[in-house]
Every structure is written in structure tokens, then in C-alpha cells.
Amino acid sequence: MHGGNRVAEVLKAQGVKTLFTLCGGHISPILTGARAAGIHVMDTRHEATAVFAADAMARLTGIPGVAAVTAGPGLTNTITALKNAQLAQSPVVVLGGATATVLKGRGALQDIDQVPLMAPHVKDVFQPGKVRELVPSLERAFAAAKSGVPGPVFVECPVDLLYPEAVVREWYGLGHGGGGLSGWMQRMYLRRHVSRMFRDADRQHAGPAMVEPIPTPESARVLAVAQKLKAAKRPLMVVGSQAVCEPDRVAAVAEAVDRLGVPVYLSGMARGLLGSRHPLHFRHRRREAIKAADLVILAGVPCDFRLDYGRQIRRAATLVSANRSRHDLKLNRKPDYGIQADPGVFLVDLARAAPATGGAWSDWRETLGSRDRERESEIEVQASESGEHVNPLALCRGVDRLLGENSIVIADGGDFVGTASYIVRPRGPLRWLDPGAFGTLGVGAGFILGAAASFPGAQIWGIFGDGSVGYSLADFDTFVRHRIPVIAIVGNDACWSQIAREQVKLLDDDTGVMLARTDYHRVAAGFGAGGLVIHSDEEIDDVLGQARDIAAGGHPVLVNVILDRSDFREGSLSI
């Protein structure tokens, strides 16, 4: 049993089913150990993809997602994905290789001071220095990732803790003599070092996963909010990702929202919480609705840029905010009722405390409903406008029509994804994944892998901008090797539109924002995936249907959708 087996033993005991990685000599025993323990090892083409995948799996299953990456450049390649997980409050465990304990700081291959690099982006860092410390360090890492405000952690695993003792002794040259007195002394020192490193290695065995307590609200505070809610004329709720960070409790949260009877907007991972259609769920004109509300409940939603730093909420309105994070609770605007607790539990408790609402707030709901319907009709008209190529709204409506009940949608891009987000209706909770507050392009491939590993058999759609898909293209190789039957839709407008739009308007210059009409379907085909193309609105249903069938047969497929591009400045952009 080597250190890699011990690491795997902990992963298994914590309920980890898949380990995401890109290999390196420093971590080989973790990969072989995981495989031997029956953990599926999914090897990617970029370390960021491995961490994005671990992030997605954590969000979807509630069990910390795990990525193993090699020392030095393997680790530095994870930083963006790690920061993304931190901002999304996603419990990820990054296992990083490191040089041998005696070689640290002595110019070994890929040896850099890794901890200061990782520390700002994680909740905690763990550095086992002996084999017997591997198991407890990892167990503490899992607990830290899940507790309080969830987030990523880093475990640095020196290579000589991971390999079999005999191999390590050989590396340290302990099998040979020679070198005179100084050689003898050096060998004595190293022998002692290795013996200390391996001493009592067999004493530690992985225990079951710790159940982290869920922070619950004080009942008096909940009752006070229930009273306030009863008196409200135009209450509104915004429910965000943190309210569904315990996947086991999502159904109870949905039931509570339904029972409360308060009009609701859903964001992040909470999208789809009430299914694809529900009378309390409004999707459009959120800003207007928030401005008109006299009581706003933010469940796991901070007053950040997405709510204009809190300015969208009227000063006179009562603001109730429930959040696990003390910082997020008060960010930019102090709530009248700040509840530091799990927002999902808060909603469940509030629904119990609030009197049954029956037909309450029906005028208010009707006002919001008519605005929603008005916007839907506008979209319908816009979707039917034909241009030279494909209308992005028509395409997204086509995707929405084909979306299965077991589908998960992964969003990675700018304007095209923005369009998809108000047209495509996730069929249930935890069925829409976007990067979150960090707004990171490039999450696509990793999120697809994480979703597929979490729900084998689910229908997985990737909605990409043509700029964003560039980060994920090499991982079509991963999709093919691991038979990930994703339907990847690429909105090809030959442009980084979301940026071009503003840059051209403000600076009258398109430097750096244009792309080519690349044949992304051929790139995917080159990796062995299916590749289809849509040139016109008339082809949408037929080609999307073909793509769905390819995926249903177990193969990945990329659909390159040639989109119309809006003129940022009439006649100025060349394509």
C-alpha cells in the first residue's frame, strides 16, 4: 500500500466517484491508487478543465469535487478555475504534486513555492509531511471545503509520500554504498529522514465522511420576517446558487418557495428550481420588478454587480437577506433583516412560519405576469425575424423545444449565452451551470465532464460562444475518449460580440475582437466527435434533432451555428 493508495482510500470514503486530472510523474500514484480503488479517473487536456469539472461535480452532488494536478506548471494552470470555484463557493479539493521533501527549495524540476500561490484562492492549505499525515490531512481538507461557506482547498502532496517505500529508498540512493565518510553520513541522514517519513504509515485509516452542520437561522428572526412578509403588498424573492448548495435538500427548498407564494426570480444554480413553468416564477424584467417591490428577500444572493450593488432595491423597501457568508450578507447594502444561515434552510423555516397565503398578492403577480408575457411576445417576434444566417433567438428556441426532462445545460460564452439564458428553460433545479460571479470564459469542457460524471445518462447541452469554445476544443478529445455524449452548440458570429459591442461603440475600433468563421464542426470531427453545421433558420429543428440522436447513441457532437451578427457600427466590421 503506497501513499497514492492511501489518498484513494480517503477519496472513496468521502464518496468521491470520479477524479479529474492531467497526469504528471509527481502524482502518478494518486491516479493508479484511485483506479485500483474503483474511482473513475477522467484525464483531461488542461488542468483548468480538471478543476472546472471538479467544481461542477461538487455543485451538482454536494460532495467535494477532486482534481489531481502535477507540481509547478500543473498547479499554476489551475488558478483561474480555482478562483472561479472560490467565487462560486464550490467545495473543490485540489491535490497538487510537489517535489520530494528533502529537495524542496533546492532547484528540483517543477519545484516552486506553491503554497503562497494557492493560499489566496482557497479556504485552507494542507501540507502533509509524513505518510501517516496523508489520511488526516485529506479528511480535514474535505471537511473544510464543505463547512460554513463552501469553497476550494489545496492539499500539497510531496512525491516521496506517494510512492512505495522501496522506490523512495532507491531514489534516495539508500541501496548503495560508497562516497567515503561524507557519503556514509549523508546516507545516515537520509535513512533517518525516510524512516521518519514512513513511520506508523499503516496506523491511519480513512474514516467515513464527516457530516458538516448546516448553519440554521434563529427562529425568532424567521418569525419576525414572516410577520413583515404578511404585511407586504408587493413582496419579491431572488433565489441564488447558495440556496441549493445542498443538493439533497433542493426538493424541500422548491416546496417552500411554492408554499410561500411570493413571486420569485431564480439565478445561478437555482434556475429551474420550480421546473420549466410555474406561476410564481418570473423570468423577465427583473430590474423593474425589484424596483417596484416593497419587500425583497435575497436568498443566497449578494448585492453585487448583478443587483447594481443593491441600488435596484428601493430605499423604502424592507430588505431581507439570508446568506451563509457574513461578508455577502452586508455587501454594499445592510439588510433590515440579515440572516446568517443557509438560505435554503431559511426558506424552508420561513415557509413553516408564514401563514398560508392562498390567493395573496394576486394583483402584484398579475402585474409581473403580464410583463413576462409581453416580453415573451417580443421574443417571439424577434425570433421570427430572418437575416442572412441563423437568428440566435430562433436557435435557442429550437434548443428549448428539444431539451429533455433529464437535460443539463452548460453555459460558456457572452452574448449568445445571454440570449440562451432568457430563452432556454432548465427543466429542474441543478440543471443549469454557468461560471458564476467570476464570469470566466472557458468553463465549458470541464463543466460538461463534471455534469456527465455526476449524472451518467443525462442529456447534456453545452451552449458556447465561438470565442469561448476555443478554450474547450482540445477537450473534445476527452469527450471522445470518455464517451461523453454532449451536444455542444457553438454560436458562430465570428466575433467576441459581448466585448465588440461596447468597444466599437465607445472607441470606434474593432482591434482584437474579431474572429474567423472557423469550421468548428470540422475541428470536433477531427477529434472523432460528430460535427454538424446550421446555416439557416429552416435547418434548426432538423440538425438539432440529428445532434440529439448522435448524443443519444453515446457520442459527443458539435453543432456549428452560423449566426447573424448585429452591426456594432454600421458597415464598419469586416467579415
Tell me if 272 sits within 8 A of 429, measured CB to CB.
Answer: yes
Nearer to ligand TPP, 7 or 561 (CB): 561
Nearer to ligand TPP, 481 or 517 (CB): 517
Nearer to ligand TPP, 310 or 398 (CB): 398
Alpha helices in 127-179 (DSSP H): 134-146, 159-162, 165-171
Nearer to ligand TPP, 82 or 273 (CB): 82
Applying CB under 6 A, the residues found at the interface with ligand TPP are 413-416, 439-442, 465-468, 491, 493, 495-499
Kindly give, in sequence order, each residue whose CB lies less than 8 Å from that of residue 440, ignoring residues fewer than 6 positions away.
80, 81, 83, 84
Tell me if 244 sits within 8 A of 250, measured CB to CB.
Answer: yes
Tell me if 490 sits within 8 A of 438, measured CB to CB.
Answer: no
Cβ 494 to ligand TPP shortest distance, Å: 9
Cβ 468 to ligand TPP shortest distance, Å: 3
Cβ 137 to ligand TPP shortest distance, Å: 32
Cβ 515 to ligand TPP shortest distance, Å: 7
Distance CA 41, CA 358 (A): 51
Cβ 497 to ligand TPP shortest distance, Å: 3
Rounded to the nearest 10 degrees, the angle between the axes of helix 392-402 and helix 415-423 is 50
Cβ 92 to ligand TPP shortest distance, Å: 18
Question: Any idea what DSSP says for residue 416?
Answer: H
Distance CA 386, CA 395 (A): 12
Cβ 18 to ligand TPP shortest distance, Å: 25
Q: What is the 3-state secondary structure (H, E, C) of 253-295?
A: HHHHHHHHCCCEEECHHHCCCCCCCCCCECCCCHHHHHHHCCE
Nearer to ligand TPP, 126 or 496 (CB): 496
Kindly give, in sequence order, each residue whose CB lies less than 8 Å from that of residue 97, ignoring residues fewer than 6 positions away.
24, 25, 26, 27, 68, 69, 70, 71, 74, 75, 110, 157, 159, 162
Type of residue numbered 550: I
What backbone phi and psi angles, to 5 degrees, belong to 284?
-115, 165
Cβ 573 to ligand TPP shortest distance, Å: 12
Nearer to ligand TPP, 74 or 414 (CB): 414
Tell me if 291 sits within 8 A of 312, measured CB to CB.
Answer: yes
Cβ 415 to ligand TPP shortest distance, Å: 4
Nearer to ligand TPP, 246 or 415 (CB): 415
Q: Cβ–Cβ contacts within 10 Å for residue 317, how many?
A: 20
Nearer to ligand TPP, 33 or 436 (CB): 436
Cβ 80 to ligand TPP shortest distance, Å: 7
Measured from each CB, the residue nearest to ligand TPP is 465
Cβ 512 to ligand TPP shortest distance, Å: 9
Nearer to ligand TPP, 9 or 493 (CB): 493
Q: Cβ–Cβ contacts within 10 Å for residue 385, how many?
A: 11
Nearer to ligand TPP, 272 or 442 (CB): 442
| Residue 322, SS3 per DSSP | strand
Nearer to ligand TPP, 114 or 472 (CB): 472
Sign of the torsion angle spanned by Cα atoms 220, 226, 230, 233: positive
Cell numbers describing residue 282: 418570473
- The secondary element (H helix, E strand) that includes residue 465 is strand 459-465
Type of residue numbered 148: G
Cell numbers describing residue 339: 440572516
Cβ 57 to ligand TPP shortest distance, Å: 21
What backbone phi and psi angles, to 5 degrees, belong to 554?
95, 10
Tell me if 351 sits within 8 A of 259, measured CB to CB.
Answer: yes
Give the distance, in angstroms, between the CA of residue 502 and the centroid of all CA atoms in the same chain.
27
Cβ 432 to ligand TPP shortest distance, Å: 17
- The secondary element (H helix, E strand) that includes residue 446 is helix 444-454
Tell me if 570 sits within 8 A of 543, measured CB to CB.
Answer: no
Nearer to ligand TPP, 137 or 497 (CB): 497
Tell me if 236 sits within 8 A of 294, measured CB to CB.
Answer: no
Nearer to ligand TPP, 3 or 491 (CB): 491
